[in-house]
Amino acid sequence: MSDKKPQENSRNATEIKREVKLNGAPEPASSMQLPKAYDPSLIEQRWAEHWTRERLFDVATPATNSHNSPGRPTGGQREAEKGSASSFTMLLPPPNVTGRLHMGHMLNQTEMDILARWHRMRGETSLWVPGTDHAGIATQMMVERQLAEQGTSRKALGREAFEQRVWQWKEQYGSAITDQMRRLGASVDWSREYFTMDSRLSVAVKEAFIRLWEQGLIYRGAYIVNWDPVQQTAVSDLEVTHEERAARLYHVRYPFADGTGSIVIATTRPETMLGDVAVAVNPSDERYRDAVGKLIALPLSAVSGGPARTIPILADDWASPEFGTGAVKVTPAHDPNDFAIGQRHSLPSLLIMDETAHIHLPGSPYHGLDRFAAREKIVADLEAAGLLVEIRDHKHAIALSQRSGAVIEPRLSMQWFLAVNKKPQAPGGPFIERSEMSGGERNSIARNAIDAVAQGHIKFTPEMYSKTYMEWMNNIHDWCISRQLWWGHRIPAWLCPDGHITVARTTPTECSTCGTTNIQQSSDVLDTWFSSGLLPFTVFGWDGSNALTPDLAAFYPTSLLVTGFDILFFWVARMIMLGCHFMLDVPMPDGAPRTLADAVPFKGVYIHALVRDANREKMSKTKGNVIDPIEIITRYGTDAVRFTLASMASPGTDIAFSEARTEGYRAFANKIWNAARFIFMNIERARAANIEVTLPSATTLGAPSKLRLGGKEERLSAPSIERSEMSGEQKNLDDDNPIPTPSDPIESRWIVARLSETAAAANAALAAYRFDEAASLIYQFFWGDLCDWYLEIVKLRLVFDITPEAFPTSEDSERALASTTTALATLVTVFDAALRLLSPFMPFLTEEIWHALYSQAPPAKSIALTRFPQAADFPADKSALREMSLLQELIVAIRALRKELGVPEKESAPIRLHAGPELTLHLEFHQEILDRLARVSEVHISDAPLTGANSRSTAAFDVAVIFEKKIDVAAERERLTKELAKLDKQIAANEARLADTSFTGKAPAHIVDGLRKQTADLVTLRDKTRLALDNLPRE
């Protein structure tokens, strides 16, 4: 027995006191006077800092020979078990270092955190590695904007100084997004935080490039790329978005050079005509049969007053007779299709624009004009020359740079490519046809990436994304990996004036081909996705050698990648390509060669939905409908927002984020807070009355080896239940009453059984990434079962006033004491388990309450280091479930009747009950419950069915409330009539089906039997209803 004073008991009380004081509120005297409403702002920040400071979620690199570490220390550093199946590893999709947290991040991180915490609480080594991405273009843009404000520019600074500025920027602001992550409660291992430009990772990136080069998988070549004239860099196909816009199709007359006629071409981009080198028509096009071979004097092409350029008309299949005039101008340097035509016909490529998309034609009147200004002027000049035939409206998709929004200018330039096809590569060789970049047999890097998914080594959830992935992989082009930026991993290649390439690990002094010392490093950097595509192994120490580092041995392949479909191709596909490629060369921990199954960067990919606004609109800055998670968190609390996202995260559909929903879950948090207050209040009362409170002591995780048995070895979490069960059995044996007496109160047996059911379902849901299901199960259990029913009933058992006056005999008082003690133990045990169930979803609130519960000595440093409830931890008492559900049905019926009859809320009333033994058997033990929950003063058992207007019937019982008030006969008649019609209809339908021999013959027996039983019940109910209707007094 404890004789501690209530004031000393609750650390929760003192902690909150301090917080409340800081916030200027009056200091509460005890936990009973804790704020009635839950205020997340008082606790969340504190726990977020605590978790980080205590390094609770760090996972140490396993020592080379440490298997079998004896259990995990209760918190802080743990060692991963080498090669153990019980480890769960995830990589955080690195947010851009320039980024601010948005709802997409929050959804992503909530889901990952729930999984990380769940696995951790199941006794697995749960490692979640955070980091940030240097985000080449985004970051460079950000800093350039800053420079512009300061009146300078990247070019004025020079490359080296600029890079330094970006680093400065990163040092200053780079942690903004990770600081925001901490507020979300992400249980990541901060000791492993990386930045993609860290020197460790940079070395690996360089090595990866060099190896791919040596393997002939990277080549440099001239090709039309998507050129962003604002950023002045090439961008990949994926970084281009298309937008349908109203445009114009210009029909322009090109006169023949010999003056014998002309041909009319159609173009949407007249300004590029200055770069035309031919006009193409389809060889089968009768209209132009005679024109093929003629020369054209290209209008407006005169430079410095010279003559116009002449260009040929040629036949090429690409020209479609149906489109425009059937004649197309050919501008190889500014259009990928034209480029291909140029290749086929050995035409030159005339680059007529500079990097900023201004016309570059010295001597031409258009020189120096922006491309759109040039278009206007050219159209005007054509018109003046009488060469503009017509202008048609034309809808077409224009290409925009995703990053800068600039209209993409296809532009011929030298770039570096990662090959996906088996074809001879000539480094620095001539032009590459687009068809060569996509067609043909796949090389190993693409083949492996396809096989990894096709063979099931990587599983997508939802599964349909594997199809999307396959579709894309089967159609990709070579990947342009070079960017003309200054911020990023610089390509380790040097060029000599003759165009020879020297790829080297350290700065070379001469060209490896011709020996000249006149060499210069390529100014290009690598696509950001190239480096992030390597992360799954570079974060674990891969350095380009094929050495198996301890981290790789322990954590590769990672278990799961959680991400949005928007980066499926950008990142997921690239990780698969690069992971499979490089890791195949790294041996397994046992020295065996690695197969594709273990080379993959992750075993599973969970693709989540997009978070939209309440009106299902995509959030965008321009629309101004962006919901800032931090702002929402501030208003509702992180836990409530997390729970909202989890409960709405059903696979396959986007999330329309609704604040109404969040309000609901804030209420849920408040509900739990108040349930906790109720429990603390009773613990204090108990201690004041010198009644011992048994806190669950075994909720922490035991040795991992033990846990892997699946929790069947013992009931870790419910010691008091076990005890009471034993005593119950004895009681049953001793009892000479032939009717079995429930040894424990029904509510105890029931809530524990429900806990078992809920744990089973929640674990299954999480295993299937059904966050919504798991959340709803836990919500239902906590609020519906625990708070609405169990807590209300258990109040009956919590008797603290055990005085001689109240309990005259010592037998009575002992029984009361025992009942209170047992009830408290169950209450606390169940509540503790419920908190643990909820903990992955609402880590802050549960942490706070859990610590308060174990005021003196929490069994672990954090609830996050305790065990997630498993079904086997609790007896699944089926009979208790049935018994309780009948009782609940009865209570609900009585409540409804009372309401109908207008019984004042506070007034007790007697009932009459006609029921089978299933319900009446234990009824004497339930009288108190009936009184408390349905204000039943007395129960009269009736042998005859009850059909009065004050009665209600179910298949299992009739119940009548005895109350002298006239009922609304008309309303009752209406209700019963409606009910009768419904029942009749249902019975008729059922009977028809049962009469159908094809149904009874073909349907499985349990379905037919079930339907029979249901029909019988319905008939009973129908008869009762009809009787009740007949018995209604006539008006």
Partner RNA sequence: GGGCGGUUAGCUCAGUUGGUUAGAGCGCCUGCCUUACAAGCAGGAUGUCGGGGGUUCGAGUCCCUCACUGCCCACCA
Is residue 991 part of the contact set for RNA (CB under 7 A)?
no
Contacts 24+ apart (CB under 8 A), 4-7: 4/687, 6/30, 6/684, 6/687, 6/688
Map the footprint of RNA across residues 669-688, applying CB under 7 A. Answer: 669-671, 674-675, 677-678, 681
- Name which position in 149, 160, 322, 1035 contacts RNA (CB under 7 A): 322
Binding mask of the shown chain, residues 695 to 734, with x at each position contacting RNA by CB under 7 A: ----------------------------------------
Is residue 67 part of the contact set for RNA (CB under 7 A)?
no
Which residue's structure tokens are 């028809």? 992
- Name which position in 31, 87, 187, 325 contacts RNA (CB under 7 A): 325
Cβ closest to RNA, residue 60 vs residue 892: 892
Closest contact distance (angstroms) between CB of 794 and RNA is 9
Question: Which of 380, 379, 354, 355 lies closest to 367, judged by CA?
Answer: 354
Closest contact distance (angstroms) between CB of 561 and RNA is 18
Contact 787, 771 (CB under 8 A): no
- Name which position in 988, 1017, 1031, 1033 contacts RNA (CB under 7 A): 1017
Is residue 169 part of the contact set for RNA (CB under 7 A)?
no
Map the footprint of RNA across residues 134-163, applying CB under 7 A. Answer: none
With both helix axes pointing from N to C terminus, report the angle between 103-121 and 638-648 in degrees, rounded to the nearest 10: 90
Is residue 498 part of the contact set for RNA (CB under 7 A)?
no
Quick one: which segment of 61-69, 133-141, 212-220, 324-332 binds RNA (CB under 7 A)? 324-332
- Name which position in 29, 63, 161, 464 contacts RNA (CB under 7 A): 464
Closest contact distance (angstroms) between CB of 612 and RNA is 7
H or E element: which one contains 551? helix 550-555
Map the footprint of RNA across residues 610-649, applying CB under 7 A. Answer: 614, 616, 618, 648
- Name which position in 205, 218, 328, 548 contacts RNA (CB under 7 A): 328
d(CA 1014, CA 837): 36
Give the up-direction half-sphere exposure of residue 769: CA atoms within 13 A in the CB hemisphere.
Answer: 23
Closest contact distance (angstroms) between CB of 471 and RNA is 6
Helices assigned H by DSSP within 130-243:
136-149, 154-157, 159-173, 176-184, 199-214
**Site size with RNA, rule: CB under 7 A:** 99
Would you give the DSSP letter of residue 28? P
Buried b (16+ CB within 10 A) or exposed e, 426-458: ebbeebbebebbeeeebbebbbbbbbbbeeebb
Cα 272 to Cα 349, 385, 578: the distances in Å are: 12, 18, 38
User: Rg of the chain over CA atoms, in angstroms?
Assistant: 38
Cβ closest to RNA, residue 653 vs residue 697: 653
d(CA 664, CA 866): 28
Cβ closest to RNA, residue 212 vs residue 225: 225
Quick one: which segment of 149-157, 501-509, 810-818, 997-1005 binds RNA (CB under 7 A)? 997-1005
Cβ closest to RNA, residue 716 vs residue 894: 894
Is residue 986 part of the contact set for RNA (CB under 7 A)?
yes
- Name which position in 122, 154, 309, 329 contacts RNA (CB under 7 A): 329
Cβ closest to RNA, residue 942 vs residue 986: 986
Query: What's the distance, CA 321 to chain centroid?
Result: 49
Quick one: which segment of 35-43, 95-103, 539-547, 743-751 binds RNA (CB under 7 A)? 35-43
Binding mask of the shown chain, residues 425 to 454, with x at each position contacting RNA by CB under 7 A: ---------xx-------------------
Is residue 179 part of the contact set for RNA (CB under 7 A)?
no
Quick one: which segment of 302-310, 507-515, 727-735, 993-1001 binds RNA (CB under 7 A)? 993-1001
- Tokens for 907, please give them: 């007034």
Question: Which of 196, 135, 168 lies closest to 567, judged by CA?
Answer: 135
Map the footprint of RNA across residues 597-616, applying CB under 7 A. Answer: 614, 616
Is residue 996 part of the contact set for RNA (CB under 7 A)?
yes
Cβ closest to RNA, residue 147 vs residue 994: 994
Is residue 38 part of the contact set for RNA (CB under 7 A)?
yes
Q: Which phi and psi (to 5°) does residue 355 adopt?
A: -65, -20
d(CA 487, CA 489): 7
Closest contact distance (angstroms) between CB of 888 and RNA is 8
Is residue 39 part of the contact set for RNA (CB under 7 A)?
yes
Is residue 187 part of the contact set for RNA (CB under 7 A)?
no
Quick one: which segment of 497-505, 519-527, 578-586, 985-993 binds RNA (CB under 7 A)? 985-993
- Name which position in 597, 1010, 1031, 1033 contacts RNA (CB under 7 A): 1010
d(CA 257, CA 367): 24
- Tokens for 50, please give them: 């605590």
Is residue 237 part of the contact set for RNA (CB under 7 A)?
yes
Closest contact distance (angstroms) between CB of 887 and RNA is 12
Q: Which phi and psi (to 5°) does residue 913 adopt?
A: -135, 130
d(CA 819, CA 691): 11
Contact 746, 882 (CB under 8 A): no
d(CA 230, CA 407): 9
Contact 612, 620 (CB under 8 A): no
Non-local CB neighbours of 1007 within 8 Å, separated by 6+ positions: none
Is residue 220 part of the contact set for RNA (CB under 7 A)?
no
Closest contact distance (angstroms) between CB of 350 and RNA is 16
Contact 746, 926 (CB under 8 A): yes
Contact 32, 681 (CB under 8 A): yes
Cβ closest to RNA, residue 90 vs residue 834: 834
Contact 20, 28 (CB under 8 A): yes
Map the footprint of RNA across residues 880-909, applying CB under 7 A. Answer: 891-892, 895-896, 899, 905-906
Cβ closest to RNA, residue 60 vs residue 1003: 1003
Is residue 590 part of the contact set for RNA (CB under 7 A)?
no
Map the footprint of RNA across residues 565-584, applying CB under 7 A. Answer: 566, 569
Map the footprint of RNA across residues 373-412, applying CB under 7 A. Answer: 396-397
Cβ closest to RNA, residue 174 vs residue 321: 321
Binding mask of the shown chain, residues 466 to 495, with x at each position contacting RNA by CB under 7 A: -xx--xx--x--------------------
Strands 602-608 and 558-564: parallel
Map the footprint of RNA across residues 272-311, applying CB under 7 A. Answer: none
Is residue 660 part of the contact set for RNA (CB under 7 A)?
yes
Is residue 655 part of the contact set for RNA (CB under 7 A)?
yes
Strands annotated E in 617-662: 655-656
Give me the torsion for CA of 887, 892, 895, 897, rounded to 10°.
Answer: -110
d(CA 865, CA 648): 27
Closest contact distance (angstroms) between CB of 639 and RNA is 11
Closest contact distance (angstroms) between CB of 109 and RNA is 20
Binding mask of the shown chain, residues 790 to 809, with x at each position contacting RNA by CB under 7 A: -xx--x--------------
Closest contact distance (angstroms) between CB of 798 and RNA is 9
Is residue 661 part of the contact set for RNA (CB under 7 A)?
yes
Map the footprint of RNA across residues 945-964, applying CB under 7 A. Answer: 955
Burial of 306 (0-12, 13-18, 19+ CB in 10 A): exposed
Per-residue 3-state assignment (H helix, E strand, C coil) for 241-278: EEEEEEEEEEEEEEEECCCCCEEEEEECCHHHHHHCCE
One-letter amino acid at 398 equals I
Map the footprint of RNA across residues 334-373, applying CB under 7 A. Answer: 335-337
